[in-house]
């Protein structure tokens, strides 16, 4: 991942400070005339949104035999901050934690949400997802995607849903958030190389998508959609890239 694109990429997903963004950073959204079909034309740094060959999200179909280790997640529970960044709600932790993959250790950076979920599994669409963004010492990104159906109230996310910042730039503090409690007991996952799902659509992102979904209540989903009626990029071509399944 080239450093120039990495800097813009980290801004796009809320990793870096706002001041790191270029002054002419173009506005993008999920609707025309600045929606996904136009992202690649908004700025020359967004060209991969049109020309990339490993773009995300995808309709996941495992096509490669996988001998994948269990996810090694080290997320200490503790205080968190939830920020309305104009595109989604972004969660950061006071004590961030990390995960370890065969490719190395990745520090947790932030979690954010999409409605509907961006990833599909064998064509199945989910109404909601959480993306947990991580970064290693070299700046490489790895993302865990958690999928959710509508069902029982999500107790882990309940404090977030009941105290959401309502306007772009606003933040609220949560006394305690336990990320590990968001994960299902059975943590089988798909993995593949992809991209950021927002401009500049930088590639070289290592994705882990858990197969077993969690639940949120209908009210929780509706509360989120009052702020963000739709914030998901459409499915992108897989282009024969390897997709492994295991866990």
Residues marked as catalytic? 87
d(CA 51, CA 216) in angstroms, rounded, equals 35
d(CA 87, CA 163) in angstroms, rounded, equals 17
Backbone Cα Rg of the chain? 17
Q: Which residues contact 212 (CB under 8 A, 6 or more apart)?
A: 184, 185, 186, 187, 188
Max CA distance (Å), the chain: 46
Counting every residue, how long is the chain?
A: 247
Q: What are phi and psi of 64, to 5 degrees?
A: -135, 135
Q: What are phi and psi of 4, to 5 degrees?
A: -60, -45
Q: Can you tell me whether residue 49 is helix, strand or coil?
A: helix
């Amino acid at each position: 991942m080239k450093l120039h694109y990495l800097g813009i990429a980290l801004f796009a997903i809320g990793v870096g400070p706002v001041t790191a963004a270029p002054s002419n950073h173009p506005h993008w959204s999920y609707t025309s005339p600045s929606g996904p079909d136009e992202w690649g034309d908004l700025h020359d740094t967004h060209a991969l949104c049109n020309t990339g060959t490993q773009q995300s999200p995808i309709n996941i179909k495992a096509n490669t035999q996988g001998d994948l280790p269990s996810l090694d997640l080290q997320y200490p529970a503790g205080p968190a901050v939830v920020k309305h960044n104009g595109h989604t709600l972004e969660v950061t932790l006071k004590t961030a934690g990390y995960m370890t993959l065969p490719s190395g250790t990745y520090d947790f950076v932030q979690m954010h949400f999409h409605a509907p979920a961006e990833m599909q599994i064998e064509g199945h669409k989910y109404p909601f997802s959480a993306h947990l963004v991580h970064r290693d010492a070299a700046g490489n990104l790895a993302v865990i995607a958690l999928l959710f159906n509508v069902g029982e109230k999500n107790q882990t996310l309940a404090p977030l849903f009941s105290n959401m910042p309502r306007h772009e730039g606003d933040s609220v503090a949560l006394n305690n958030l336990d990320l590990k409690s968001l994960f299902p007991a059975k943590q089988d996952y798909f993995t593949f190389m992809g991209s950021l799902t927002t401009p500049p659509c930088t590639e070289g992102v290592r994705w882990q998508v858990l197969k077993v979904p969690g639940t949120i209540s209908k009210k929780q989903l509706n509360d989120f959609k009052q702020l963000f009626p739709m914030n998901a990029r459409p499915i992108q071509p897989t282009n024969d890239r390897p997709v492994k399944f295991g866990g």
